[in-house]
């Protein structure tokens, strides 16, 4: 693995000071030989009860209670650490060498996805077990004459560097263990032989085994926007900024792209990503989205673009990373090398532009190791959370650009994890690109602060005014560049606000829309409310059953895909006469990333940033009075109005202001003060005018200086 620099393991060992590749390979192989020393425990050996072991007259130790990873770490702490003859040669004293070895032991013994536990119980090891482990390690040490412990590993800077890189090295240990445990390459043998003989045989087999790892793809040069997006003849202002930004700076970078729907944020982000990759600052990217539905939609979009990121003779992989990806037919059909042999060529019958090596696809733990990933943001977030095998996810994100879309959709808990992820990306020298329609000053401050912690520099986000939108922020280790982005006339929107205070009024409005031949959506905050209203409409006969659609997240994945396709057919950009009189009762599944276009819309009261997103699905494309798409000109439909179901307005609301009128909404969005502030600012403004009022709306709800009613102090 080191000789071939698989997943940059040679690169990380060089950073630790082992510059010679052969020496690095020997050290990595030697430290790997420590990983299973816990299996010398008598309790582990009892798992295979053979008469030659002479154990039938002894009580069985309950091995299941303590994993062999922890047993190995325990053996080091209590016995092997006092055997300096096992340590590599070094100019360090025995005491300091022991301290350095103690850094490496959790990395190698904790090879099953989590660190070993530090316990002192030793009754799992007899003296003969400890002697056998020591004898084995002495023999192993003799196989690697080049190993040493550099002095720098006992210095503060070296320890800090080790702690940073140990996540990646421990992940490489996991991959090596998985590969070395594959019986197809290393069949079990009962034949006794000298250690050096077995080692030579294993080396020959390893040459075949490492072909299991898909070869790294070579990044293509960035030439122009048409290479990635042939359909773009004239870049949007945001895309033009992405083409012009100076990215040739050392170290990590953070980009925050804030713009309205239709401004081409996705394309701008991918332009930046390709430029960074072509400049040698990354080998791939991971595109994280808030939901599986939005991830599926992005996967479809990326399938037509991602191959242009790499040279034609490369074999990169595009993977879909979320828990239900195996239910997506298009992804399943893209997988090649299905036997996991690592030696087969891609199936030429497969559309190669959608290919993914099966080695990446057999586990979400390895998904982020693929060159290009599209999935839910939580798959990346688990890299900085105490999840099993989070080190593999960190290795997957190393030398990658993280793109996070719709970050305004993150709640307070997810936002904090995202900040930790940005900090980790920055500390590893990687770039992060964040996309959002709207961000508050407070959110932006926290994101920039997270990056600053990662690069260990003091950088502060500028204070923006209400007119500072759309906006692009670029943060490096030395400076922060913040600039306004122009807006195209085509994406400027003005949506009037209307208020409804009962479900009966909403149903009446749906009936009026159907009678006029308009299509209408009602976005509900809870699945239960959506189902109940859907059934009421079925019974009322206001809408014919064939014209009524229900869409929420509780459907089985297969049904959800079918309904999503039906929704896009009836309400999507290319829909025509078939949209007339159609009604969709949906939840938050349609508020982001689905390109739907309704003539009319009702929404339950929600936080202002989500209402802005929902309004983006109202008269999204230019159409004539019959609902047919126009290439240019004015929309011929009635003025767009977002009608919001909300409690009656109350200047001095009580604590139950929301829950008494909309119980389920109060549960879904527990910060009732923000909901009240949303209603207040939208009542005052009467419209959602984008991009002009974006900052005003967001800061009026999420700003640090807003006046929260006393009754909502507990819900903040």
| pLDDT (average), residues 611-620 | 92
Structure tokens at 352: 């190669």
- Interval 274-293 mean pLDDT: 94
pLDDT score at 58: 57
SS3 of 454, please?
Answer: helix
- Parallel, antiparallel or unpaired: strands 480-484 and 471-475: antiparallel
Closest CA to 373 of 492, 263, 287: 287
Query: How distant, in Å, are the alpha carbons of 255, 396, 456 from that of 248?
Result: 14, 24, 20
Q: How confident is the model at residue 561 (pLDDT cuts 50, 70, 90)?
A: confident
The pLDDT value given to residue 53 = 54
Distance CA 109, CA 132 (A): 17
pLDDT surpasses 70 at 572:
yes
Predicted confidence band at 351 (pLDDT cuts at 50, 70, 90)? very low
Q: Is the pLDDT of residue 339 over 50?
A: no
Just give the CATH number of 238-252+259-489. 3.40.50.300
Coil, helix or strand at residue 644: strand
SS3 state of residue 287? strand
Encoded tokens for 422: 């940005």
Among 325-339, 486-500, 601-615, which stretch is predicted with the lowest mean pLDDT?
Answer: 325-339
Which residue has tokens 């075949």? 208
DSSP letters spanning 455-469: HT----PPPP-TT--
Whether 63 shows a pLDDT value over 80: the answer reads no
pLDDT digits (tens, 9 = 90+) for 518-560: 999 999 999 999 999 999 999 998 899 999 999 998 998 889 8
**Phi, psi dihedral angles at 162 (to 5 degrees):** -60, -45
pLDDT tens per residue across span 196-207: 999 999 999 999
CB–CB of 149/92 below 8 Å? yes
Largest Cα–Cα distance in the chain? 91
Torsion of CA 205, 372, 564, 498, to 10 degrees: 150
% of the chain beyond a pLDDT of 90 = 65
pLDDT at 452: 96
**CB-based contacts of 194, cutoff 8 Å, min separation 6:** none
Contacts for 643 with CB less than 8 Å, ≥ 6 apart: 497, 498, 499, 500, 506, 509, 600, 601, 602, 603
- For residue 454, the model assigns a pLDDT of 96
Binning pLDDT at 50, 70 and 90, where does residue 55 land?
low
How does residue 52 score in pLDDT terms, banded at 50, 70 and 90?
Answer: low
Residue 56, pLDDT > 60, answer no
Neighbours of 292 (CB within 10 A): 21
Question: Residue 574: phi, psi to the nearest 5?
Answer: -85, 0
Q: Which CATH number does 6-212 carry?
A: 1.10.3210.30
238-252+259-489 and 492-715, same CATH topology: yes
Distance in angstroms (rounded) separating the CA atoms of residues 285 and 398: 10
Q: List the CATH code of the domain at 492-715.
A: 3.40.50.300
Q: Given pLDDT bands bounded at 50, 70 and 90, which one contains residue 576? A: confident
Helix (H, G, I), strand (E, B), or coil: what is residue 342?
A: coil
Q: Which two tokens stand for residue 168?
A: 């990646």
3-state SS class at 195: helix
Is residue 38 within 8 Å of residue 45, measured between CB atoms? no
Q: Which helix (H) or strand (E) holds 397?
A: helix 390-397
pLDDT tens-digit profile of 462-487?
888 888 999 999 999 999 999 999 98
- Determine which of 345-349, 498-502, 706-710 has the lowest per-residue pLDDT on average: 345-349
Q: How far is CA 643 from the centre of its chain?
A: 34
Compute the average pLDDT of residues 153-163. 94
Sequence ranges of the domains in the chain? 6-212, 238-252+259-489, 492-715
Question: For residue 186, how many other CB atoms are within 10 A of its CB?
Answer: 16
**Host H or E run for residue 98:** helix 94-109
CA distance 8 to 80: 30
pLDDT value at residue 347: 40
Give pLDDT, residue 406.
Answer: 87
Give the lowest-confidence range in 24-33, 285-294, 580-589.
Answer: 285-294
Nearest in space to 360 (alpha carbons), one of 328, 316, 399, 398: 316
Among 209-218, 281-290, 577-586, 647-656, the least confident range: 209-218
* pLDDT tens digits, 639-697: 999 999 999 999 999 999 999 999 999 999 999 999 999 999 999 999 999 999 999 99
| pLDDT tens string 695-713 | 999 999 998 888 888 878 6
Give me the pLDDT at residue 385, please. Answer: 94
Q: What is the DSSP letter of 148?
A: -
Q: Among 232-241, 344-353, 508-517, whose mean pLDDT is lowest?
A: 344-353
| Structural contact between residues 391 and 170, judged by C-beta atoms closer than 8 angstroms | yes
The per-residue pLDDT for range 383-400, each reduced to its tens digit, is 999 999 999 999 999 999
Q: Are 697 and 612 in contact (CB under 8 A)?
A: yes
pLDDT number for residue 121: 64
Give the mean pLDDT of the chain: 90
């Amino acid at each position: 693995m080191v000789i071939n620099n698989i997943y940059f393991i040679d690169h990380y060992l060089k950073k630790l000071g082992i510059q010679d590749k052969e020496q690095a390979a020997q050290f990595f192989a030697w430290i790997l030989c420590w990983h299973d020393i816990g299996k010398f425990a008598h309790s582990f050996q009892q798992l295979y009860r053979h008469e030659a072991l002479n154990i039938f007259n002894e009580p069985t130790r309950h091995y299941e209670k303590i994993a062999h990873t922890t047993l190995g770490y325990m053996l080091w702490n209590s016995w092997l650490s006092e055997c300096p003859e096992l340590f590599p040669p070094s100019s360090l004293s025995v005491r300091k060498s022991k301290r350095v070895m103690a850094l490496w032991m959790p990395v190698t013994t904790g090879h099953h996805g989590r660190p070993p536990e530090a316990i002192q119980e030793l009754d799992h090891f007899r003296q003969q077990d400890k002697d056998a482990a020591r004898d084995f390690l002495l023999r192993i040490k003799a196989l690697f004459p080049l190993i040493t412990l550099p002095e720098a590993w006992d210095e503060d800077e070296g320890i800090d560097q080790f702690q940073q890189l140990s996540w990646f090295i421990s992940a490489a240990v996991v991959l090596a263990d998985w590969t070395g445990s594959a019986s197809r390459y290393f069949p079990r043998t009962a034949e006794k032989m000298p250690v050096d003989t077995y080692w030579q045989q294993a080396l020959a087999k390893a040459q075949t085994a490492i072909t299991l790892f898909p070869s790294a793809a070579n990044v293509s040069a960035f030439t122009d926007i048409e290479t990635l997006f042939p359909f773009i003849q004239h870049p949007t202002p945001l895309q033009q900024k992405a083409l012009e930004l100076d990215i040739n700076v050392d170290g990590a970078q953070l980009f925050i792209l804030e713009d309205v729907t239709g401004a081409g944020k996705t394309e701008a982000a991918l332009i930046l990503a390709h430029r960074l990759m072509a400049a040698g600052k990354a080998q791939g990217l991971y595109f994280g989205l808030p939901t599986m539905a939005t991830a599926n939609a992005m996967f479809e979009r990326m399938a037509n673009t991602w191959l242009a990121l790499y040279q034609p003779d490369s074999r990169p992989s595009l993977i879909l990373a979320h828990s239900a990806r195996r239910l997506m037919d298009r992804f399943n059909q893209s997988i090649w090398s299905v036997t996991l042999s690592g030696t087969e060529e891609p199936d030429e019958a497969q559309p190669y532009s959608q290919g993914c090596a099966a080695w990446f696809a057999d586990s979400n733990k390895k998904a982020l190791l693929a060159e290009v990933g599209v999935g839910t943001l939580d798959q990346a977030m688990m890299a900085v959370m105490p999840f099993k095998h989070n080190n593999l996810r960190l290795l997957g994100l190393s030398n990658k650009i993280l793109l996070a879309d719709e970050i305004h959709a993150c709640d307070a808990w997810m936002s904090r994890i995202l900040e930790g992820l940005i900090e980790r990306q920055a500390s590893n020298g990687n770039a992060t690109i964040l996309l959002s329609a709207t961000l508050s000053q407070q959110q932006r401050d926290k994101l920039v602060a997270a990056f600053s912690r990662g690069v260990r520099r003091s950088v502060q986000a500028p204070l923006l005014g209400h007119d500072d939108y759309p906006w692009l922020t670029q943060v490096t280790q030395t400076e922060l560049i913040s600039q306004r982005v122009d807006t195209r006339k085509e994406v400027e929107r003005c949506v009037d606000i209307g208020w409804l205070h009962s479900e009966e009024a909403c149903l009446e409005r749906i009936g009026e829309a159907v009678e006029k031949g308009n299509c209408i959506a009602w976005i509900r905050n809870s699945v239960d409310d959506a189902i109940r209203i859907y059934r009421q409409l079925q019974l009322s006969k206001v809408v014919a059953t064939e014209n009524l659609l229900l869409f929420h997240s509780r459907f089985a994945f297969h049904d959800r895909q079918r309904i999503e396709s039906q929704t896009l057919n009836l309400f999507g950009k290319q829909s025509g006469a078939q949209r007339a009189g159609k009604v969709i009762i949906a939840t938050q599944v349609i508020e982001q990333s689905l390109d739907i276009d309704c003539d009319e819309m009702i929404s339950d009261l929600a936080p202002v940033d989500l209402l802005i997103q929902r309004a983006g699905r109202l008269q999204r494309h230019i159409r004539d009075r019959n609902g047919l798409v126009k290439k240019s000109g004015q929309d011929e439909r009635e003025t767009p109005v977002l009608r919001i179901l909300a409690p009656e307005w109350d200047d001095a609301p009580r604590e139950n202001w929301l829950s008494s009128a909309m119980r389920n909404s109060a549960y879904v969005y527990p910060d009732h003060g923000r909901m009240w502030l949303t209603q207040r600012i939208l009542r005052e403004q009467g419209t959602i005018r984008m991009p002009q009022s974006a900052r005003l709306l967001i800061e009026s709800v999420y700003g640090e200086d807003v006046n929260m009613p006393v009754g909502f102090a507990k819900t903040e």
